Structure 1
Amino acid sequence: MGDKRERSNEVLSEQQGKQIHKTEKGETYFVEPASDNEEKDSEANNQKSRGMARWEEQRRKTWKLLAKASDLADDPCCFIGDFNDILNQEEKTGNHPKTKNQIEKFRELVNKRELMDIDLKGSKFTWFSNPRDNIVTRERINRALVNWGWRKMFEHVTLIATPAISSDH
């Protein structure tokens, strides 16, 4: 992801799980995995984690982490991953539309934190379901949200959705 002229191949250091990178322009940024420290990361893949209540709990945790990280970030920030949410109904086709309230809450979080969604090239959707009654549900739930500082550093960045071969993402 990103313009090759601005992409960093140099990791300056790694401290407490953070990687400090340097671009060819000499600007530095860091990469830190998100964690809420309440459970081991592998717990999310545990069979106990399945179910709608669990997904809603994870969604709330993800939103809290995003809010906390963006509040603390005076530096350029990029949040990449499966947010399991959409910003508008056009980002979903198929069965069971997202509620207007759910979409508005996610959009409100993104706007309140002054984050920008990186344009997606390639496929319009990043997730698809198994067919149910010959209908496949497709959604754009994977995204990169960035603040203005990050966007200025990487003006020509592009997010590309490649065809899924063995995964639904």
Structure 2
Amino acid sequence: MDQAVSNCNGKIWIFWNNDIDCAILEEDEQQVTCSTRHAEIQEQFIITFVYAKCKEYLRRPLWDRLLHQASGNNKPWCSVGDYNVITCIEEKLGGVPYNMKKSLEFIAVIEACGLIDLGFSGQKFTWTNQRGIQHRIWKRLDRAMANDEWLEKMPRITITHLPCRVDHCPLRWK
């Protein structure tokens, strides 16, 4: 990798090579939004990299940033990362039953932003609490979502959940 940048608290790192022109549009504790162009494509793409806070009320500034990014944006846009919330009860295994009220704000933001989950191949869950088998919890906290303009330009993009090495599974774009 030829270039790198991190957000203000060092929890999000972005690396890219010289084939990509990347300009940081904004960043804060939970997201970095970049304008990118690949040397071969020349189309401008917007990508938001996310590492959301664990507590619901602390994620609200992130939801506001995503809504702001979506408003008036007609460029291809993708948002990818750890949102620390699930969108349906099937995205959790183990522990106490999930209260879907915890997800309603996130689901509303996804819809208001016009984002579509890109789906995935590989294992179903992207995070585990790593406790013993009797107390283990699995969730799909990591995802990639894109707007219609992104899907028109990159209709064959795929996301693969790679094997977990620590508590989260990396996502591979292709």
Task: Give TM-score, length-normalised by structure 1.
Answer: 0.72
CA RMSD between the two structures: 2.8
Please state whether the residue corresponding to 2:107 is helix, strand or coil. Answer: helix
Kindly tell me the number of residue pairs found equivalent between the two proteins: 145
Bigger Cα Rg: 1
Which amino acid counterpart does residue 19 of structure 2 have in structure 1? E
Q: Give the alignment partner of residue 10 of structure 1, picking from 11, 19, 22.
A: 19
What corresponds to 2:66 in structure 1? 66
Q: Which moved more, 1:159-168 or 1:138-147?
A: 159-168
Higher helix proportion, which one? 1
Higher strand proportion, which one? 2
Contact kept, 8 Å, 1:93 with 1:138, in 2: the verdict is yes
**In structure 1, what is the Cα distance between the partners aligned to 2:25 and 2:112?**
29
Please state whether the residue corresponding to 2:64 is helix, strand or coil. Answer: helix
User: Once the two structures are superposed, what CA deviation does each residue of 1:108-127 show, in whole Å capped at 9, x if it has no partner?
Assistant: 22112211001111010110
Q: Gaps spanning 5+ residues in structure 2: where? A: 1-16, 27-33, 170-174
Contact kept, 8 Å, 2:128 with 2:167, in 1: the verdict is no
Residues 102/34 of structure 1: CA separation in 2 closer, same or farther (3 Å cut): closer
Q: Gaps spanning 5+ residues in structure 1: where? A: 1-7, 36-43, 45-53
Higher relative contact order, chain-length normalized (CA < 8 Å, sep 6+): 1
User: Once the two structures are superposed, what CA deviation does each residue of 1:28-65 show, in whole Å capped at 9, x if it has no partner?
Assistant: 32446579xxxxxxxx7xxxxxxxxx722332122111
Task: Give TM-score, length-normalised by structure 2.
Answer: 0.70
CA deviation after TM superposition for structure 1 residue 132, in Å: 5.3
Please state whether the residue corresponding to 2:71 is helix, strand or coil. Answer: helix
Contact kept, 8 Å, 1:11 with 1:19, in 2: the verdict is no
Does 1:157 pair with 2:157? Answer: yes
CA deviation after TM superposition for structure 1 residue 99, in Å: 1.5
What corresponds to 2:11 in structure 1? none
What corresponds to 1:107 in structure 2? 107
Residues 150/16 of structure 1: CA separation in 2 closer, same or farther (3 Å cut): closer
Percent sequence identity over matched residues? 23
Contact kept, 8 Å, 1:83 with 1:142, in 2: the verdict is yes
